[in-house]
């Protein structure tokens, strides 16, 4: 290290760089030095539910009227509040709460096209409502200055839901600001696992919990309750509420201490209060007419509203005549105050409500399931003048909603969308985007119904319930719960039981001196006006077993918890009454089995097969969906199909079978396309590109002379798999899928094959539990796992010749075409004489010669034919157990052939039973005389009788015809 120059040490201090305010010389540059400003940061730490919580202010967002960062573990939320300097002449509090979850909080870049967050998502709107509902009642009456709350998630560890953190941070920010507010509040989340309540549960614990309770309160009163539960009893719910209150109160004291350190003094805001003089004048003019309207139960919603409007106009004209401009400005507020006074006084003093009902009486109910039959599910529910139409739409797993929230699941398979059109209250309005109220009401109903849905493993399909409010006069969200429950059952979804909801209200009378409630009445099934003029709107939904969802909104500055718990009993009685009416209309999920209803199927395939189905960039999958209208969802080894009806399901299954294929089963029916035609049959491509042989004898129950007369290249056919030869060629049959001509009896072999060839019946949604176990095959005897002798097929009793593949046949045809003569030599040692009717092999018979001579083809029979002895020699024993025949040849006299061929088609049909005589005895069978010069072939059965004499009679049945039309007979003994 260099030593300082001794001469510089002698310079006086007033000549140094520091005395002139310069920084140290660095890189040859000079600059003025600066001093770092120390931020005044204030913090408070406390524990709730074994978790350390920190409140911090002063470090960031210093210009906001109030700003607090609340931290729990590694999650941090910033909440800020601001207010306008003066009101704009409103008669309400313009409070706006914005909650934001940006993806940087979890270290992720947004996946949207713009790579930035857009409009508020549903979850952000719901979290904003969670913050808004408890803080709104604590603003002083007459405070109409605009207030904005903005809560932003700074970081999220995924363990805690930031909504509760944001609400407590907002309360602390309001305490620090100069805005008049009657807080602070505390908010806490309670869960329950195995009967044990948990304070501030993590997201993983909430997955196991049967209760998700959010509770907000002041020191001694309840402000807001939001519950999602799995049929929790009223007793357990009350226990959870009483546990939540003291835990939520623990948030209050740290906020008070923080406000004492860093809070601003509350500013004097102008409050828009009604003068006693104006209120008295309005009461004198309007109280009696308003009471007359409210005591007449014959008024409907709009008739009552029109009468009240007429009273308001009468008071307005009286003030205009007097020239009282001050009273005219606040007239609507004053008239509303008088209405509230009249209604509350009559309910508490007399126990009668606006429409003449008793306090605990439910309005008349009307239920109708299946209101729109063409839909997957629908229901119409009416309670009084409130009416809701609910519909259900089912979809594939890929139709699930994808979520980008910081902590919630990545997808949602059950959605309930609530719509409140203007016509339901006879108003003119515009349909805009997401509405905060509609989102909140829909989510409440969604929580209520979610508890009774089947698990995803048993019912993996996406469900959308759409609620259209047809008429509104109170508690349309609870009507949505009732209508949605019936619509789910009408759609055949296996919900455990019905869910019903009802709204409970409260009317209280305060002690003027203390401000405490001295008398109150609980109202069951409140009207819209009772909601507006009352103290609470307590929505409770559940089944006969317990509560599934709750939403409590309070208008005054809190209600004692004891009164809230008292409301649970009348709500339970009303819920059971509504459930009884719903069960009378529909008590169990419908079993829709008509052809127009939705079809759902889950198939199992290998991942390689699924890759072939999807195609490059999903082209093949999208093309199938466009052509059939079905929705295809691909998972790990599974393929889920959703079709509008059975016809669409059949189309998409046909296309999937052709591309992917199924496990080849004996007796299975497949669809294929003819690729080439030979003299002895046709080759087809089916089941995902596999090749199969359709022999000429398997084309029809009637004799066929030329293959091209029945099928053509490119033709689509439905064929049955009847076997496999030693070369691996799959043998197909067209006639096995066709009905027997003439209604004759069928032999056991063919009948058994037809039974086993039934196509799979794809279970609809109402039998979805069994759908996953179904495979895209029917028979239990796969061709590659069992011997053909074990399967009951049409070829199980007859030998087969060996047929090569189409490629081998084409190659041999080319070589044979160069050596056409009266006799031709084949590579495998078979010598074929075109003038004779026999084919002699020295070693192993291969493919029959492919000469264009029809006569040579006549001696070749099908590998899957029901024919008798076939002209082959020295055939090696196949591994298939059906092929047990010896290696010698069997020949038929030429003269007999011609005579038999001429008469068989005219006088004999398959299934005909006759008495025949032994005409000739051969090494491997008999020639039988059927009478009238007609001859037939009978092959000796393995381990069967072989001692016959010429002239013996025997009972036989015609089982098939050879390629030349010779009857093939089977014994009836």
Picking from 123, 164, 165, 170, the residue whose alpha carbon sits closest to that of residue 149 is 170
pLDDT tens track for 60-102: 999 999 999 999 989 999 999 999 887 767 778 899 999 999 9
Picking from 166, 188, 176, 178, the residue whose alpha carbon sits closest to that of residue 42 is 176
Q: Is the full-model pTM beyond 0.75? A: no
pLDDT (0 to 100) of residue 363: 94
Percent of the chain with pLDDT over 90: 37
| CA distances in angstroms from 750 to 791, 792, 960, listed in the order given | 12, 9, 11
The span from the CA of 259 to the CA of 266, in Å, is 11
How many residues does the structure list for the chain? 973
pLDDT tens track for 254-308: 999 999 999 999 988 888 888 888 888 899 888 899 988 888 888 888 888 889 9
Picking from 337, 315, 549, the residue whose alpha carbon sits closest to that of residue 443 is 549
Picking from 665, 698, 720, 709, the residue whose alpha carbon sits closest to that of residue 800 is 698
Q: Angle at which helices 476-490 and 436-450 pack, to 10 degrees?
A: 50
Burial 716-738 (b: 16+ CB within 10 A, else e): ebebbbbbbbbeebbbbbbbbee
Query: Who contacts 108 (Cβ-Cβ below 8 Å, separation ≥6)?
Result: none
Q: How many CB atoms within 10 Å of residue 794?
A: 27
Query: Who contacts 292 (Cβ-Cβ below 8 Å, separation ≥6)?
Result: none
| Strand pairing report for 51-57 and 66-72 | antiparallel
Decide: residue 575, CB within 10 A, 0-12 exposed, 13-18 middle, 19+ buried.
Answer: buried
Task: Show the low-confidence residues of the chain (pLDDT under 50).
Answer: 1-3, 8, 17, 22-30, 33, 744-804, 818-906
pLDDT tens track for 29-42: 445 545 555 678 99
Token digits of residue 125: 């709107």
Angle, alpha carbons 68-71-76 (nearest 5°)? 85
The span from the CA of 969 to the CA of 961, in Å, is 9
Evaluated on CA atoms 662, 664, 668, 672, the torsion sign reads positive
- My answer on whether omega of the bond before 342 falls inside 30° of 0, hence cis, is no
Q: DSSP state, 761?
A: -
Q: Confirm if 28 and 177 have CB atoms less than 8 A apart.
A: no
pLDDT (0 to 100) of residue 848: 36
């Amino acid at each position: 290290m260099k030593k300082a120059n001794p001469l510089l040490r002698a310079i006086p201090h007033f000549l140094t760089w520091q005395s002139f305010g310069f920084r140290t010389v660095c890189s040859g540059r000079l600059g003025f030095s600066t001093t770092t400003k120390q931020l005044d940061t204030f913090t408070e730490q406390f524990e709730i539910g074994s978790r350390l919580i920190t409140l911090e202010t002063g470090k960031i967002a210093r210009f906001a009227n109030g700003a607090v960062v609340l931290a729990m573990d590694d999650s941090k939320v910033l909440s800020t509040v601001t207010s306008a300097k003066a009101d704009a002449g409103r008669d309400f509090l313009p409070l706006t709460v914005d909650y934001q979850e940006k993806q940087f909080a979890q270290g992720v870049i947004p996946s949207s096209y713009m790579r930035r967050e857009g409009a508020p998502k549903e979850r952000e709107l719901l979290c904003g409502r969670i913050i808004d509902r408890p803080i709104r009642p604590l603003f002083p009456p007459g405070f109409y200055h605009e207030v904005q709350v903005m809560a932003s998630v700074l970081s999220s560890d995924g363990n805690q839901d930031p909504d509760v953190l944001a609400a407590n941070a907002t309360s602390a920010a309001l305490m620090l600001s100069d805005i008049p507010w009657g807080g602070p509040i505390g908010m806490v989340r309670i869960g329950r696992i195995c009967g044990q309540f948990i304070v501030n549960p993590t997201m993983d614990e909430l997955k196991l919990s049967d209760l998700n309770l959010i509770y907000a309160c002041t020191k001694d009163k309840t402000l807001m309750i939001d519950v999602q539960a799995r049929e929790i009893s009223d007793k357990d719910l009350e226990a959870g509420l009483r546990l939540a209150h003291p835990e939520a109160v623990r948030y209050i004291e740290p906020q008070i201490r923080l406000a004492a350190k860093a809070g601003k003094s509350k500013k004097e805001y102008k409050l828009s209060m009604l003068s006693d003089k104006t209120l008295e004048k309005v009461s004198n003019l309007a109280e009696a007419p308003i009471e007359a309207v409210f005591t007449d139960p014959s008024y409907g919603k709009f008739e009552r509203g029109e009468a009240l409007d007429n009273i308001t106009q009468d008071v307005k004209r009286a003030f205009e005549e007097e020239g009282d401009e001050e009273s005219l400005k606040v007239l609507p507020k004053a008239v509303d105050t008088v209405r509230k006074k009249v209604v509350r006084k009559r309910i508490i003093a007399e126990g009668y409500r606006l429409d003449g009902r008793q306090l605990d009486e439910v309005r008349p109910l009307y239920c109708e399931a299946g209101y729109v039959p063409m839909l997957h599910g629908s229901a119409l529910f009416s309670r009084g003048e409130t009416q809701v139409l609910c519909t259900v739409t089912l979809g594939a797993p890929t139709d699930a909603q994808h979520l980008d929230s910081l902590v919630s699941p990545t997808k949602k398979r059950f959605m309930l969308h609530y719509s409140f059109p203007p016509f339901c209250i006879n108003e003119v309005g515009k349909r805009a985007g997401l509405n905060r109220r509609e989102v909140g009401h829909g989510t409440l109903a969604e929580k209520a119904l979610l508890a009774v849905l089947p698990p995803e493993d048993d019912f993996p399909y996406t469900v959308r319930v759409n609620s259209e409010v047809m008429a509104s006069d109170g508690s349309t969200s609870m009507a949505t719960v009732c209508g949605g429950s019936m619509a789910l059952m009408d759609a055949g979804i296996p919900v455990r039981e019905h869910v019903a909801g009802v709204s409970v209200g409260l009317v209280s009378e305060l002690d003027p001196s203390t401000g405490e409630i001295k008398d109150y009445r609980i109202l069951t099934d409140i009207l819209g006006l009772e909601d507006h003029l009352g103290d609470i709107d307590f929505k409770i939904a559940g089944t006969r077993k317990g509560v599934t969802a709750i939403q409590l909104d309070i208008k005054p500055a809190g209600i004692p918890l004891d009164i809230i718990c008292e409301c649970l009993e009348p709500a339970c009685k009303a819920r059971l009454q509504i459930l009884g009416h719903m069960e009378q209309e529909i008590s169990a999920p419908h079993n829709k089995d008509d052809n127009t209803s939705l079809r759902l199927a889950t198939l199992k395939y290998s991942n390689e097969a699924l890759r072939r189905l999807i195609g490059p960039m999903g082209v093949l999958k999208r093309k199938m969906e466009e052509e059939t209208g079905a929705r295809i969802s691909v998972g790990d080894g599974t393929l889920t199909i959703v079709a509008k009806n059975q016809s669409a399901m059949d189309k998409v299954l046909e296309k999937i079978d052709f591309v992917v294929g199924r496990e080849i089963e004996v007796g299975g029916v497949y669809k294929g396309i003819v690729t080439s035609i030979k003299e002895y049959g046709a080759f087809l491509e089916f089941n995902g590109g596999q090749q199969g042989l359709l022999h000429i004898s398997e084309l029809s129950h009637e004799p066929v002379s030329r293959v091209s007369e029945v099928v053509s290249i490119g033709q689509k056919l439905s064929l049955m798999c009847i076997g496999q030869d030693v070369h691996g060629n799959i043998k197909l049959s067209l006639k096995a899928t066709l009905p027997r001509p003439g209604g004759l009896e069928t032999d056991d072999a063919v009948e058994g094959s037809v039974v086993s060839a039934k196509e799979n019946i794809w279970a609809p949604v109402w039998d979805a539990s069994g759908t996953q176990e179904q495979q895209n095959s029917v028979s239990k005897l796969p061709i590659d796992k069992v011997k053909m002798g074990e399967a009951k097929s049409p070829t199980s009793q007859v030998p087969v010749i060996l047929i090569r593949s189409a490629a081998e046949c084409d190659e041999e045809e080319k070589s044979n075409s160069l050596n056409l003569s009266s006799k031709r030599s084949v590579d495998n040692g078979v010598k074929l004489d075109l003038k004779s009717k026999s084919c002699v092999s020295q070693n192993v018979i291969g493919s029959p010669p492919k000469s264009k001579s029809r006569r040579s083809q006549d001696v070749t029979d099908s590998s899957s034919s029901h024919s008798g002895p076939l002209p082959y020699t020295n055939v090696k024993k196949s591994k298939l157990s059906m092929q047990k025949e010896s290696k010698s040849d069997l020949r038929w006299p030429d003269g007999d052939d011609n005579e038999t061929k001429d008469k068989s088609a005219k006088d004999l049909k398959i299934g005909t039973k006759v008495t025949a005589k032994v005409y000739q005895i051969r090494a491997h069978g008999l020639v039988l005389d059927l009478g009238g010069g007609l001859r037939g072939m009978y092959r000796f059965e393995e381990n069967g009788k072989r001692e016959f004499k010429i002239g013996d009679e025997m009972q036989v049945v015609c089982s098939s015809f050879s390629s030349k039309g010779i009857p093939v007979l089977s014994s009836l003994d």
